[in-house]
Amino acid sequence: MLYKPTIGTRIFDVCNVLLLLFFAGVTLLPFLYILATSLAPLTQVLRGGVILWPESLTWDAYRTIFTNAHFVHSLYTTVILTVVGTLTNLVLTVFMAYPLAKKRLKGRRTILFLVVFTILFSGGMIPTYMVVKALGLMNTMGALILPGAISAFNLIIMRNFFQSIPEELEEAAKIDGCRNLGVLFRIVLPLSMPALATFTLFYAVGHWNQFFAAVMYITKSNLWPIQVVLRQMIIEGSTQDFEAAMGELKIIPATIKMAAIIVATVPILFVYPFLQKHFTKGVLLGSVKG
Amino acid sequence: MNVRSAEAAGRAAETGVLYKRRRGKELLMDWDLYLLLVPGLLFFLLFKYVPMWGVVIAFQDYSPFKGVLHSDWVGLKHFVNLFTYDKFWAIFRNTILISFYNLIFFFPAPILLALLLNELRISWFKRSVQTIIYLPHFISWVVVAGMTYLILGTQGGIVNELIQASGGEKVAFLTTPEYFRTLIVSQSIWKEAGWGTIIFLAALSGVDTQLYEAAIVDGAGRWRQLWHITLPAIRSTILILLILRLGNILDVGFEHIFLMLNSTVNSVGDVFETYVYREGLIGGKFSYTTAVGLFKSLVGLVLVAGANWLSQKFGEEGVF
């Protein structure tokens, strides 16, 4: 330290730590409350008050939702949607970003302009809906995957990332007899792992949390992803599916709703720490203007 | 030396004449790159550009039976309707107001948070706080809305139970128009303010620590350092994001609003996209709501282009 901290500085530091603790608390508290209540026994829930620690663990609420065929099926749909959708996103984004990163490619600027233009202007909800309908995608997984197959933002960031890989590497590989695709798969992609991890996370979160496309394009409830079912349960308050089980196990709708929230949230929060170390790097590398 | 490596060597050399003569061949050699572009181009064509062409139904009385090609043209009828319709202006007002409140309360939140985080000396504490405040970004709006319902609802909502237990009257947070905008802005701050700090913290981490040392030697306290070093370091980031925000003033987060809307707060909460969804998709007024959407997109385009021009005028890098 070059200087002695003054009293003012000390006070500021303490206040700062307290303030940030408060913000972190405000962020975590709703989760804790919902998690604890979903696990708490009925007696504790009925007594009221904020529950941040269950007196004893009760898995009844979870047992109830996991024995509900509709809920489990929507989870299954969402897992498939997330895996297939994310793969589609990654493949299409990489395939398009790679050629666009090559300065020698003719028509590159035009295509880039056309891509950026879609960020600035869009046909809007109704014409997009009409296209999806005309393609016969209504009530198919395709309606949830194809209209968002490439995010223009991610594409641009990916392209900038590819462009930042030294061209000499490609030239060396070509002298050794590699074709364009060989360069992409053997050299560029292995070097792009931080970016790929970031986009995997972003696209996967997008699919897991997908709600509105499903509301628009999926009218059959057996194809609903988890978020739509959640909304129906919590916001529209329809838990009659669970009534039989509720009578038997003596649990209340609120606990079931909370358990459903936890089930729909935990998988996403679970992948996040594993990818966290990549994404700050990945996001920032790519977003530097190229 | 085989042909391919000879060509690679030629390209590397990039001597004018040889390079030019080879260009036709280069195109052929890169046929696989062009092939890679095809699926992406198809995507943009089908799902982005065909809908842009589809806005022509804003100038028609579109009928699903006649199709886009054979529906009757009605000129600007729908636009005249929309500009003379009270409901449209109510929607316009709601959208602008929510956007305005977001600008005043939500926009500065990540900046303040980043500044506070940046002052922390204990790095494990800083990292833990960051990890926690990033979390809500990954949660769906359905879950955020659901938690809000469970916490603030009048039937069993914990906040109301506490109010009652302490002798107060229940407050209908979710169905009182006066609370709607506050609720929307607070949810946005809770969900995204932490995540928003990433970009500012990155800008701050690039500051040369010698600047601070020099300032300390010159006798600058914490405030002086903030004012003369830290804030200038993130000035251009703030400006670019602010300008982008201004350009997207008609976009207020569709899912979010849609999930929080109910019949009692419609008067203050109905925004362009929820309106288009309800009247258009559910109500079947395809042509009219496409006109509404087109109006919104065009205003958005003008605002973004204007904002970009402004940013360059301020001597900052343009966004596009």
Angle between helices A7-39 and B123-134 (to 10 degrees): 40
In A, which residues are within 8 Å of B26 by CB distance?
104
Query: Among A118-132, B34-48, B216-230, where is mean pLDDT lowest?
Result: B216-230
pLDDT tens digits, one per residue of A166-218: 888 888 998 988 888 999 999 999 988 888 988 998 999 999 999 999 999 99
Sign for the pseudo-dihedral over CA of B267, B245, A272, B187: negative
The set of residues, in sequence order, having a beta carbon less than 8 Å from that of A206 and lying 6+ positions away, is A148
Q: Which residues on B lie below 8 Å from A273 (Cβ)?
A: 131
CA distances B57 to A88, B291, B304, Å, are 31, 8, 25
Answer whether B11 sits within 8 Å of A254, measured CB to CB. no
B286 → closest Cβ in A100, A106, A126: A126
| Residue A34 distance to chain B (closest CA, Å) | 8
Residue of A nearest to B54 (CA): A127
Residue B45: per-residue pLDDT: 97
Kindly determine whether residue A171 and residue B47, on different chains, have CB atoms separated by under 8 Å. no
Nearest CA in chain A to B290: A126
The stretch A213-230 carries a mean pLDDT of 95
pLDDT given at position B6: 54
Position B302 confidence tier, pLDDT thresholds 50, 70, 90: very high
- Within chain B, residue ranges assigned H as helices are 3-13, 16-29, 31-44, 50-54, 67-70, 77-83, 86-101, 108-118, 123-134, 141-152, 158-165, 177-205, 209-217, 222-225, 231-247, 254-260, 266-269, 272-275, 286-313
DSSP bridge pairs for B73: B60
Q: Residue A159 pLDDT more than 60?
A: yes
Tokens of B124: 């494990």
The Cα B259–Cα B275 span in angstroms is 13
pLDDT higher than 80, residue A254: yes
Chain B residue nearest residue A135, CA to CA: B46
Q: What is the pLDDT of residue B107?
A: 96
Query: Averaged over A111-136, what is the pLDDT?
Result: 94
In the prediction, which pLDDT does B1 show? 40
pLDDT at B186: 97
- B112, closest residue in chain A (CA to CA): A20
Token pair 């603790």 in the structure block, residue: A21
Please say whether the beta carbons of B22 and B10 come within 8 A: yes
pLDDT on residue A6: 79
* CA B238 from centre of chain: 15
| pLDDT reading at B298 higher than 90 | yes
Residue A131 has pLDDT above 50, yes or no: yes
Are B141 and A135 in contact (CB < 8 Å)?
Answer: no
Angstrom distance (rounded) from CA B139 to CA A260: 13
The CA distance from A227 to the nearest CA of chain B, in Å, is 6
Cα separations in angstroms, A64 against A52, A69, A243, A250, A266: 22, 10, 10, 11, 18
Cα dihedral sign, B48-B49-B52-B57? negative
Tokens for A109, please give them: 């600027």
pLDDT of B4 above 60: no
- Max mean pLDDT range (A145-154, A239-248, B67-76, B307-316): A145-154
* Contact (CB<8Å) B146/A235: yes
Instruction: Quote the pLDDT of residue A4.
Output: 65
Q: Which of A272-281, B105-114, B188-197 has the lowest mean pLDDT?
A: A272-281
CB-nearest to B54 from A50, A96, A123 is A123
The pLDDT value given to residue A259 = 94
Tell me the chain A residues in contact with residue B317 when contact means C-beta distances shorter than 8 Å.
Answer: 289
**Whole-number pLDDT of residue A257:** 92
Checking if the pLDDT of B18 tops 70, the result is no
Chain length of chain A: 290
* Tokens read off for B282: 């559910």
Question: What pLDDT shows up at residue B64?
Answer: 85
Tell which of B125, B138, B287, B319 to mutate to test the A interface (max A CBs under 10 Å): B138
CA pair distance B66, B40, nearest whole angstrom: 31
- Asked if the C-beta of B24 comes within 8 angstroms of chain A's C-beta atoms, the answer is no
What pLDDT, on the 0 to 100 scale, is given for residue A288? 44
Residue A237 CA to residue B188 CA, distance in Å, equals: 23
- From A96, A127, A150, residue closest to B51, measured CB to CB: A127
Q: What is the pLDDT of residues B260-278, one digit of tens each?
A: 999 999 999 999 999 999 9
Q: Name the residue among A135, A227, A235 with its Cβ closest to that of B149.
A: A235
pLDDT digits (tens, 9 = 90+) for B225-238: 899 999 998 988 89
Please give the pLDDT value at position A48: 75
Confidence band (pLDDT; 50, 70, 90) for B12? low
What is the pTM for the complete model shown?
0.89
- For residue A289, the model assigns a pLDDT of 40
Which residues in chain B (97-136) have CB-CB distances under 8 A to chain A? 113, 116-117, 119-122, 125, 128-129, 131-136
Sign (positive or negative) of CA dihedral A219, A221, A223, A225 = positive
ipTM: 0.91
Please say whether the beta carbons of B146 and A261 come within 8 A.
yes
The whole-angstrom distance between B35's CA and the closest CA on chain A is 9
- pLDDT at residue B22 greater than cutoff 60: no
Q: What is the mean pLDDT of residues A63-67?
A: 91
